[in-house]
């Protein structure tokens, strides 16, 4: 404050203090909730501490404010956790940091001095990725997983056993030689980049909270009171150390981790033993270069003294082991200018603000767009066109804006205003009504529905997409082109394209970029999808709230499109609460939101016109109940590893199980097939060592008849 304020009356200054106090308390409570309940902190620990110090100082000056309600009475403790507590057998500590090469050299020298190991004597040190997830302790007794706990304050963590048991990668029973009677296996739970991106896209679509990064998403997914939510999130684990153990299966770090692997625990495939500091530093440089390609977040390298007798002698200093250190990567952030905030219109009309940036390199990748999620997020961070912003590649995938550098704000920058009309069709854009809070939802939607070209385009892209009708070679770009040139406006137009094109004065083959061969291929791919299974068709229609699972539930219940339409028509005629309406509502997995969406969709004549035109071109196949399957993989044990490109690993597993295969988490002699996607690690190596048949994703799909 530069101007000296007018002296105020005591009453006025008390009123001011009260206002400041209320603001501070609200702010602190908001950050508490973000940190403890939503795993989405917005400020650093230091900034949080500063807020609390401000509150303490204010209450010291105005003691009447320090009521029992004040957060100053909580000693920084989290609000009572809904999870039970578990005391760790051995405390879960953290790691000291090394920020540069000298720190690493100093670490190795210090260890040598402590152990009295000469500079030329051997000292093996392991190097492995530092996984950016959340640490977990898994207590196995007689090989059975009996407890899982988060780190908590190091001595006591939260009991997340039920949640952890839903993670398919984590064995409920350790198998093999040398499993101790008791062992606390420790490691990191995380979400891969693709799974993180898919989760956030689904959350944003539903108008639910988007996670700032994979770490927060993993923590939020694990700490769910409803474990069925955790079960749906493809959480993963790398086991890398241990706490209490009745015995150990080896004398070195690497031997114990190899035993973990042999017992069925996932371990990181990039662990390496280094014989010199140079080798450690080389490992660091190489890993940093590969960082973006790993498919999961890492924030550095962990070095550990390999011999366990040395580890024991070295012990701990304050809260970190002397035998290990974390060599951190430089944060992947960069500063750039935000040119404009564009609005994208999604399939269901959701308007999503996107930051258009002056291109900048962040962690080796050029970034020119960043997601802004929704208008509330922009308001909270007060992001304006023209601002200089700090950009971060969270999860190495979706760049986001961390904050604005306010000192650099041009005088002309004005606060962002979310448009009240759709930029594509001019229709009014309204915030959804959130039934729970009774107020506006975070998502603003174009109400133009069927007249909005942006929504129409997105619906077409959705219709042809892989999990819907799946037309090969008809991707987003082609749909854009066909739509913009008036060739395809509705799904039916896709199927009449070839005929119309043959009769056209300007056939596609005369245009740049359309060879006859590729056109023939495209038309053949379209023809190949003239018969569409009911569930895919329903999903492809892009009806709000009818995702893949719901489409399947409806298909299972009604078997044919005609029956489903008849049921919807009856519900439309009968209205909400009628028997016909309730009949749909009573289907397993279907709730009112879906019935309302169905009724809205089939009750709109324009939709039924489009649908009827489409039905002249395609046949919707009745839903086939999965038979007691007999397939090429029935009774076989299969293991998936690496990144699959055509379906997610979870889907692949579900598909294999439907076909009667047993999906295992680790490779053994009993494994019949290992399906290896890209970047497959130790499971692939194991399979090769054991002579197990390894299939590519394509080979697998052709084996199960889905190629």
What residues are annotated to the active site? 130
Is 321 a residue that touches ligand IVH (CB under 6 A)?
yes
Is 241 a residue that touches ligand IVH (CB under 6 A)?
yes
Site string for ligand IVH, 192-221 (x = CB under 6 A): ------------------------------
Joined tokens for residue 25: 């308390």
Joined tokens for residue 672: 């019949």
Please give the DSSP secondary-structure letter assigned to residue 36: I
Q: Which stretch binds ligand IVH (CB under 6 A): 71-79, 167-175, 259-267, 320-328?
A: 320-328
- Cα 372 to chain centroid distance, Å, stands at 16
Closer residue to ligand IVH in complex, CB, 245/621: 245
Joined tokens for residue 469: 């009708």
User: Residues 516-525: contacts with CB within 8 Å, 24+ apart?
Assistant: 518/473, 521/473, 522/473, 522/474, 522/478, 523/497, 523/498, 525/471, 525/472, 525/473, 525/474
User: Phi/psi class of residue 311: alpha, beta or left (left: φ > 0; alpha: ψ in -120 to 50)?
Assistant: alpha
The answer to whether 642 and 681 are in contact (CB under 8 A) is: yes
Strand order in the sheet with 673-676: 662-663, 637-641, 673-676, 693-695
Neighbours of 551 (CB within 10 A): 24
Phi, psi of 256 (to 5 degrees): -65, -40
| Start-to-end Cα distance in the chain | 69
**Of 21, 107, 240, 283, which lies in the binding site for ligand IVH, with binding defined by CB under 6 A?**
240
* Nearest Cα residue to 391 out of 358, 414, 418, 420: 358
Q: Which stretch binds ligand IVH (CB under 6 A): 124-132, 198-206, 529-537, 641-649?
A: 124-132
Closest approach of ligand IVH to the CB of residue 135, in Å: 3
Closest approach of ligand IVH to the CB of residue 241, in Å: 4
Cα→Cα distances 265→175, 176, 247, 259, 313, Å: 9, 11, 17, 9, 28
**Of 280, 302, 424, 546, which lies in the binding site for ligand IVH, with binding defined by CB under 6 A?**
302
**Of 39, 159, 188, 332, which lies in the binding site for ligand IVH, with binding defined by CB under 6 A?**
188
Size of the site for ligand IVH (CB under 6 A): 14
Q: Which stretch binds ligand IVH (CB under 6 A): 87-95, 247-255, 438-446, 481-489?
A: 87-95
The answer to whether 649 and 235 are in contact (CB under 8 A) is: no
Q: Which stretch binds ligand IVH (CB under 6 A): 321-329, 367-375, 430-438, 481-489?
A: 321-329
Is 127 a residue that touches ligand IVH (CB under 6 A)?
no
Is 184 a residue that touches ligand IVH (CB under 6 A)?
no
Closer residue to ligand IVH in complex, CB, 86/324: 324
How far apart are alpha carbons 52 and 218 in whole angstroms? 28
Is 128 a residue that touches ligand IVH (CB under 6 A)?
yes
Site string for ligand IVH, 547-566 (x = CB under 6 A): --------------------
* Nearest Cα residue to 145 out of 159, 131, 157: 159
Site string for ligand IVH, 88-107 (x = CB under 6 A): -----xxx------------
Closer residue to ligand IVH in complex, CB, 285/634: 285
Please give the DSSP secondary-structure letter assigned to residue 587: S
Closest approach of ligand IVH to the CB of residue 261, in Å: 14
Residue nearest to ligand IVH (CB): 135
Closer residue to ligand IVH in complex, CB, 126/568: 126
Closer residue to ligand IVH in complex, CB, 273/326: 326
**Of 162, 326, 476, 498, which lies in the binding site for ligand IVH, with binding defined by CB under 6 A?**
326
Closer residue to ligand IVH in complex, CB, 237/446: 237
Radius of gyration from C-alpha coordinates of the chain:
29
The answer to whether 370 and 350 are in contact (CB under 8 A) is: no
**Of 130, 139, 215, 459, which lies in the binding site for ligand IVH, with binding defined by CB under 6 A?**
130
Joined tokens for residue 584: 């749909």
Closest approach of ligand IVH to the CB of residue 142, in Å: 25
Is 310 a residue that touches ligand IVH (CB under 6 A)?
no
Q: In the complex, which residues of this chain contact ligand IVH (CB under 6 A)?
A: 93-95, 128, 130-131, 135, 188, 240-241, 302, 321, 324, 326
């Amino acid at each position: 404050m530069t101007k000296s304020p007018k002296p105020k009356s005591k009453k006025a200054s008390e009123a001011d203090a009260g206002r400041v106090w209320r603001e501070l308390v609200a702010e602190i409570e908001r950050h508490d909730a973000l940190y403890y309940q939503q795993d989405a902190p917005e400020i650093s620990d230091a900034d949080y501490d500063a807020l609390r110090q401000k509150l303490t100082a204010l209450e010291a000056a105005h003691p009447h404010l320090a009521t029992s309600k004040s957060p100053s009475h909580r000693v920084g403790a989290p609000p009572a956790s809904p999870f039970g507590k578990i005391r760790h057998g051995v405390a879960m500590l953290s790691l000291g940091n090394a920020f540069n090469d000298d720190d690493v050299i100093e670490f190795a020298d210090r260890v040598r001095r402590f152990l009295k190991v000469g500079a030329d004597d051997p000292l093996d040190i392991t190097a492995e990725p530092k996984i950016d997830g959340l640490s977990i302790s898994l207590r196995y007794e007689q090989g059975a997983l009996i407890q899982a706990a988060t780190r908590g304050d190091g001595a006591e963590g939260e009991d997340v056993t039920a949640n952890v048991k839903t993670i398919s990668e984590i064995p409920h029973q350790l198998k093999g030689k040398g499993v101790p009677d008791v062992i606390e296996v420790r490691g990191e739970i995380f979400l891969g980049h693709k799974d993180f991106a898919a989760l956030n896209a689904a959350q944003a679509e539903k108008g639910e909270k988007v996670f700032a990064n994979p770490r927060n998403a993993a923590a939020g997914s694990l700490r769910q009171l409803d474990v069925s939510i955790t079960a749906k999130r493809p959480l993963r684990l790398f086991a890398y150390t241990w706490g209490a153990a009745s015995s150990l299966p080896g004398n070195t770090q690497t031997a114990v981790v190899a035993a973990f692997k042999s017992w069925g625990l996932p371990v990181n495939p990039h662990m390496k033993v280094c014989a010199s500091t140079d080798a450690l530093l080389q490992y660091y440089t190489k890993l940093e270069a590969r960082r973006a390609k790993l498919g999961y977040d890492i924030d550095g390298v962990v070095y550990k003294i390999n011999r366990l007798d040395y580890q024991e002698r070295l012990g701990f200093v304050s809260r970190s082991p002397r035998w290990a250190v974390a060599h951190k990567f430089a944060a992947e952030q960069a500063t750039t200018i935000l040119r404009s905030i564009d609005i994208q219109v999604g399939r269901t009309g959701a308007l999503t603000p996107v930051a258009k940036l002056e291109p900048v390199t962040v962690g080796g990748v050029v970034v020119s767009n960043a997601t802004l999620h929704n208008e509330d997020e922009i308001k909270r961070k007060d992001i304006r066109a023209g601002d200089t912003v700090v950009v971060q590649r969270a999860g190495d995938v979706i760049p986001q804006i961390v904050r604005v550098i306010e000192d650099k704000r041009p005088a002309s920058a004005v606060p962002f205003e979310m448009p009240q009309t759709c930029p594509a069709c001019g229709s009014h854009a309204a915030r959804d009504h959130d039934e729970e809070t009774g107020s506006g939802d975070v998502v603003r939607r174009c109400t133009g529905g069927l007249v909005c070209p942006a929504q129409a385009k997105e619906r077409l892209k959705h219709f042809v997409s892989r999990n819907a009708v799946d037309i090969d070679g008809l991707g987003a770009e082609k749909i854009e082109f066909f739509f913009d040139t008036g060739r395809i406006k509705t799904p039916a137009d896709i199927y009449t394209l070839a005929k119309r094109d043959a009769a056209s004065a300007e056939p596609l083959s005369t245009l740049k970029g359309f060879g006859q061969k590729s056109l023939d291929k495209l038309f053949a791919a379209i023809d190949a999808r003239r018969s569409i299974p009911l569930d895919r068709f329903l999903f492809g229609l892009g009806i709000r709230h009818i995702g893949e699972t719901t489409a399947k539930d409806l298909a299972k219940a009604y078997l044919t499109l005609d029956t489903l339409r008849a049921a919807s028509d009856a519900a439309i005629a009968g209205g909400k609460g009628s028997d016909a309406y309730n009949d749909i509502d009573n289907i397993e997995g279907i709730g009112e939101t879906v019935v309302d969406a169905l009724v809205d969709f089939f009750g709109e004549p324009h939709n039924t016109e489009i649908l009827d035109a489409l039905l002249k071109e395609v046949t919707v196949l009745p839903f086939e109940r999965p038979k007691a399957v007999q397939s090429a993989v029935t009774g076989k044990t299969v293991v998936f590893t690496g990144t699959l490109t055509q379906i997610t690993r979870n889907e692949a597993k579900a598909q294999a199980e439907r076909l009667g295969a047993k999906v295992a988490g680790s490779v053994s002699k009993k494994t019949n097939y290992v399906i290896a996607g890209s970047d497959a690690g130790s499971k692939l190596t194991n399979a090769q060592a054991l002579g197990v048949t390894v299939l590519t994703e394509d080979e697998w799909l052709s084996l199960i008849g889905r190629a």
